[in-house]
Amino acid sequence: MKHNAFVISWFVNQSGLISWRVDGRVHGIRIRKNFKSREEAAAERAALELKAMQATCGLRNATTFLTDA
């Protein structure tokens, strides 16, 4: 199983402020998103890695009214 790694990096945007970027690939599709803070970027990275693992394992989200039991 190939691990889809997402990288968090910083850069200086055109206005001179530091921004954070999450960059990676899922099934050959490049995903690149910019954020104002590192915490926002880290949260998005975790969500994207979870989404990539679910896609690799064949899992998907399903809304239900059933309890865990």
List the structure tokens of 39. 């915490």
Can you give the C-alpha Rg of the chain in angstroms?
A: 15
- In the sheet where 29-35 sits, what is the strand order? 7-12, 18-26, 29-35
pLDDT band at 4 (very low <50, low <70, confident <90, very high): low
Beta-bridge partner residues of 8: 22
Average pLDDT over residues 10-31: 92
Average pLDDT over residues 3-15: 88
User: Whole-model pTM?
Assistant: 0.73
List the structure tokens of 23. 């960059």
Phi-psi region of 16 (alpha: psi -120 to 50; beta: other; left: phi over 0): left
Question: What would the pLDDT profile of 22-61 be if each residue is shown by its tens digit?
Answer: 999 887 889 999 999 999 999 999 999 988 888 778 776 6
